[in-house]
Chains A and B, each alone.
Chain A
């Protein structure tokens, strides 16, 4: 069942998001690995559409929040309002109480608002005036972010970037895909026609299956070799954290499952590696090669 359902999901998403098979597969693995996703790219390349499509095909309830600089934490989490008839405060849930939250242009909000969201992501609950409100399960955040050199942005601190399992970039579509996009139907129209391929319950099942994908000693050796390389290399300020290592394994498992295997290959690790590490590692200035994540993969020998 898993193989068929993931194939169907990918197929429907790819029908909307053209020419981005790899990014789409990464995004799906991120969600199956129970991770939050950060999409960083220029406006207009389809970030929001991707998030929306994912929500729809996975049958998740979807909320979208456009982040702005004057936004307050209550605008996301919700607010307690005094009800004069009942003589008590009642909690009005914010948009975070959903299954998939699209946090659009997260780096436009103030750090205070950003951290309110990220704390909720970490703890899977919202605490307001002493009362805790659990978030839904499954709960995902897909945040989009403009490149930080644009005006009026508050770049996310590293500690908060670490909360996102993956950061992917969409980039411009290639010639063929763009042509198909320009000639094809309106995307919004397509989205409306899209059906859910699975239920949230089935998604949880998929997540459980993914976490049981076989992982051999040899593969752990490889992952450790990669982690060790980032820690010993002088190219980076700090090496990868153990959390990054765990994330790498989770994502590789999900990727392996989507690829139709019940065991993880080094190729799976290689496929997810750049998206896992790019927002976690800070390369030293002089080495700012655009593709250093792949350079690491080139350097580290598969044991």
Chain B
């Protein structure tokens, strides 16, 4: 024991500071994690706090407690495995890190333990990124990093004030920023699973389902992710509740299509059993199915930033004619644009679309599926179809008759339709007559098929909001939409939106207009037009900032990196060049930091000294240089001899300086003023 190095214990303020910091870091995780994570964390913090206040023993003090502490740590690890399974994914990892950081805090006895806790804190900070990558979280993370750095300062320097420690930590973080930027821009980005996030590190708040079921609105947040294959929750109606962003579009040259043509094509649904609608089965798809598309008019080019939805389909303005060059995609025979891989991260791609087109005007391989009706379903609808077709002369006339039926009968658009039971289509068409896009699209398609016209449902999004700040069109989950396509000879698949027949506002003004007022602006200011306007403009700016953030920072991947480096003038960037420039950049940053700190060392920061050094450098420009070890009096005498023309002024300034700095009885301002007035004209 005698020759053991003495253990330096971190001071109490340092430990308290660290506890506060760790708690601030951990709090956001409590919302994502099971309750026991928060309980264990807070229990350990309280234990340590009671040790400081009341002297309660720590695990190291008593053998029994030590055993208890170790056993409960092991139990917690088992609990994590029990809750999340054996594979360590995002949630399990974060739960483990959070609880173990808490277990560690009651163990902190030496400086080494303290540092370990700090570094666990740094890891915990990073994990925030797995849940959220927005600007507020980044600001929170920055605060956390500063706090942790101040912990490292505190434990080494306990007598400074909290304010000065935070200030020093901020300066250090600020000094590290150029390095951070360099690494961010130049570190080679490689797409692939190693560099990606863990598999469950994805929150998909809402996304378009791959099937459709007519039903009532489920309560908000009843289902959390769109990843599940449970089709009963995958309702478009549910999406209407969500303001989450589906994708953003930036049109080249800000040329926007008409609002009536803002249909964003997604999965196509063919099969129905009377309730559910499903896409083509894999064995029904014909790999050699060729889509013949005749376009007219000018193509619109745009780039899409698609939020992850864990599906393979990509959305495109109806109808895509040029496909992304940066990724493997395929256009299916029924007009679905699919990616080779599921979209697990935010991706960007460029597309071109023509809004005027003919799709398979002569023949279509899937026509027979477009006429399938479920047996023994919708008897009343079929009767209605027979009635209408008898009075119609042509297919077009029949379509018009059905649309007229929707318009003339007492149908209404409602976001809160009554629940449908039994034969949903019949009940909707003849009894409730309230619904939204999916009700209209489904019943219209049924009526078309009953009338002998091939029809299918296309799901996707309609509309979107153009932000006046950056001219980016944002499409949110609430813009989810379903419409019908019917196939007519020589015309191909025609888009018909029965919802528009009922509620033209839905298409003309977008979903935003149909939302209740409190979802557009806070209720408190709803009565004041000026405030609503200000709210709207603030919101637009904030959205534009977020959009830029998402496009340039969060989705800064291999493609963006290449694009940026080419813009910066690097020819054919590859990882070797990036590493080389990174090394050069880092060296420059270090040289710069070394230079400034060395300069700061000889340049005191207090204002009297700054003024005096300015006086000295003024004289140095006239050939009289003060040595760093030369006292003010000696220098003054030398300067006066060398520069007799300004003898009086030099003497006054030097005397003032000596009195301010070494006697403490002259006015600092007088001295600083006199230095400012000292402007020797000619050389010594």
CA gap between A263 and B659 in the complex, in Å: 8
* Count, chain B residues at interface, CB 8 A: 15
CA gap between A264 and B659 in the complex, in Å: 10
Instruction: Using known A-B contacts A297-B629, A298-B629, determine if residue A264 contacts B602 with beta carbons closer than 8 Å.
Output: no
A151 within 8 A of B: no
- B632-645 vs A, CB cutoff 8 Å, 1 = contact: the mask equals 11100000000000
CA gap between A298 and B630 in the complex, in Å: 8
CA gap between A303 and B634 in the complex, in Å: 15
Select from chain B the residue with minimum beta-carbon distance to A217: B664
Instruction: Using known A-B contacts A297-B629, A301-B629, A302-B631, determine if residue A264 contacts B662 with beta carbons closer than 8 Å.
Output: yes
B77 within 8 A of A: no
Could you say which interface size class chain A belongs to? Answer: 10 to 19
- B571-607 vs A, CB cutoff 8 Å, 1 = contact: the mask equals 0000000000000000000000000000000101000
Interfacial chain B residues near A297, Cβ < 8 Å: 629
Interfacial chain A residues near B661, Cβ < 8 Å: 216, 218
Select from chain A the residue with minimum beta-carbon distance to B634: A267
**Cβ-defined contact, B662 with A263, below 8 A:** yes
Select from chain B the residue with minimum beta-carbon distance to A296: B629
Instruction: Using known A-B contacts A265-B658, A301-B602, A303-B604, determine if residue A216 contacts B664 with beta carbons closer than 8 Å.
Output: yes
- Chain A positions 251-279 with a Cβ under 8 Å from a chain B Cβ: 262-267, 270
Interfacial chain B residues near A15, Cβ < 8 Å: none
- Chain A positions 182-238 with a Cβ under 8 Å from a chain B Cβ: 214, 216, 218-219
Select from chain B the residue with minimum beta-carbon distance to A221: B604
For A265, give its contact among B602, B628, B629, B631 (CB under 8 Å): B631
**Cβ-defined contact, A214 with B662, below 8 A:** yes
Instruction: Using known A-B contacts A263-B658, A265-B658, determine if residue A302 contacts B664 with beta carbons closer than 8 Å.
Output: no
Interfacial chain A residues near B630, Cβ < 8 Å: 302
**Cβ-defined contact, A266 with B663, below 8 A:** no
**Cβ-defined contact, B664 with A214, below 8 A:** yes
Determine the main DSSP class of A at the interface with B: mixed
A299 within 8 A of B: yes
CA gap between A266 and B602 in the complex, in Å: 16
Interfacial chain B residues near A300, Cβ < 8 Å: 629
Interfacial chain A residues near B604, Cβ < 8 Å: 303
Interfacial chain B residues near A302, Cβ < 8 Å: 628-631
For B663, give its contact among A262, A298, A301, A303 (CB under 8 Å): A262
Residue in A264, A298, A302 with the greatest tally of chain B CB atoms within 10 Å: A302
CA gap between A262 and B665 in the complex, in Å: 12
Taking the closest CB of chain A, its distance from the CB of B415, in whole angstroms, is 73
Taking the closest CB of chain A, its distance from the CB of B14, in whole angstroms, is 26
Taking the closest CB of chain B, its distance from the CB of A294, in whole angstroms, is 10
Select from chain B the residue with minimum beta-carbon distance to A213: B663
Taking the closest CB of chain A, its distance from the CB of B666, in whole angstroms, is 11
Taking the closest CB of chain B, its distance from the CB of A208, in whole angstroms, is 19
- B425-452 vs A, CB cutoff 8 Å, 1 = contact: the mask equals 0000000000000000000000000000
Taking the closest CB of chain A, its distance from the CB of B320, in whole angstroms, is 71
Interfacial chain B residues near A301, Cβ < 8 Å: 602, 628-629
Seed contacts A267-B632, A301-B629; 6 additional CB < 8 Å A-B pairs: A214-B663, A216-B664, A262-B663, A263-B662, A266-B662, A270-B629
Residues of B within 8 A of A (CB): 602, 604, 628-634, 658-659, 661-664
Top 6 closest pairs, chain A to chain B, by CB: A267-B631, A263-B663, A266-B631, A301-B628, A216-B662, A218-B661
Residues of A within 8 A of B (CB): 214, 216, 218-219, 262-267, 270, 297-303
